[in-house]
Amino acid sequence: MLKEIKQTAEVAGYLWEKGWAERNGGNITVNITESLDSATKALPAIAGPFPIGNTLPHLKGCFFYCKGTQKRMRDLARDPMSAGSIIRICADCSSYEIIAEQPVMPTSELPSHLSVHDYLLAKGSPYRASLHTHPIELVALTHSRKWMEKDVATRMLWSMIPETKAFCPRGLGMVPYMLPGSIELADATIKAIDDDYDVVMWEKHGVFAVDTDIMSAFDQVDVLNKAALIYIASRNMGFEPEGMTDAQLKELTTAFNLPK
C-alpha cells in the first residue's frame, strides 16, 4: 500500500482516539500524483465522471486519495481502501473519476479540499495533504465573537506553551460560518490560507489544515488544540492564565527563525 495511504490510516486512528471524529466527521485528501506508478495512473475509471463544482486548472491529470463521504475515520484506520478511494481529475479540470479500489464516493468537502490543492500547486507549494476535523476545544473557541476576531485566538494559543508558535508558526485563521461542502466555504478557505495560515477554523464546525503530508497537518492541529486545553485547564483551576509575554514570544520568533 502507498506510504501516503498508510499514513492517512494512522492519522485517522488518532483522530478517532482524540474524539475529533464522531460518526463520519472530518475528511482527508492527499495529492498522490508523484507517488503513483504509471500502471495505476493508466487504470480505467470504475465510476464517474462526476462534477467537482469548480474548475481547477492546476489539477489536470492529478490523483488524490480521498476519504469517502459518510465513511468513518475509525473504519478508514483499519481499512483505508474501503473507507476511501483514489480519484483522477479529468482533462476538463472540472470533473473527476474514481479509479481504485472500490467506487467509494469522495467526501462532501471535496470542493474545499480540491480548491485548496489547486491553489497550493499554482503557488508551487510543497504541501500535498489537507485535513478537515472537529477538534472539540478549538471548535468551542469559535462560538465566541472575541476568539473569532483576527489573530486573537492565535495570540492566546501561542502564549500557552512555546511549542505552539514553534510548530504552528503561521497561527490560526478564522473563517465565518458557511454551509459545509459549499463553494463559498472553499473560496473563503483559500482566502484565509492565502493570508498566510496553514490552519484555519470553520466557525462552529471544525478545522482545515494543510501541510507537506497528512501527519504534519495533524501535528499542527494537535499542538493548537493542546494549547486550548492548557487555557481551559487554567480557567478550570479558577484563574485566567498569564500567557507568555510579547517579549518572550518575540524572543522565540527570533531564536526559531519563525515567519511572524
82 in contact with ligand 13P (CB under 6 A): no
88 in contact with ligand 13P (CB under 6 A): no
80 in contact with Zn ion (CB under 5 A): no
Q: Tell me phi and psi for residue 67, to 5 degrees.
A: -60, 145
Comparing CA positions, the residue from 86, 51, 90 lying closest to residue 68 is 86
Query: Looking at beta carbons only, is 112 or 154 nearer to ligand 13P?
Result: 112
Counting other chains too, the contacts that 236-240 makes at CB distance below 8 Å and 24 or more residues apart are: none
19 in contact with ligand 13P (CB under 6 A): no
Q: How far separated are the first and last CA of the chain, in Å rounded?
A: 39
Query: Looking at beta carbons only, is 56 or 131 nearer to Zn ion?
Result: 131
Single-letter residue type at 125: S
Catalytic residue among 109, 149, 184, 242: 109
Smallest distance from ligand 13P to CB 122, Å: 24
- 96 three-class SS: strand
* From ligand 13P, Zn ion, none, interface partner of 241 (C-beta below 5 to 8 A by class): none
Helix axes 110-122, 183-194, angle to 10 degrees: 30
Q: Rule CB under 5 A: which of 196-235 touch Zn ion?
A: 206
Determine whether 109 is an active site residue.
yes
Query: Looking at beta carbons only, is 29 or 164 nearer to ligand 13P?
Result: 29
**Cell reading at 68:** 469517502
Task: Classify burial at 103, counting beta carbons within 10 Å of its beta carbon; exposed 0-12, middle 13-18, buried 19 or more.
Answer: middle
* From ligand 13P, Zn ion, none, interface partner of 54 (C-beta below 5 to 8 A by class): none
111 in contact with Zn ion (CB under 5 A): no
Q: Rule CB under 6 A: which of 196-255 touch ligand 13P?
A: none
Give the residues lining the site for Zn ion (CB under 5 A): 206
Q: Write out the catalytic residue numbers.
A: 109
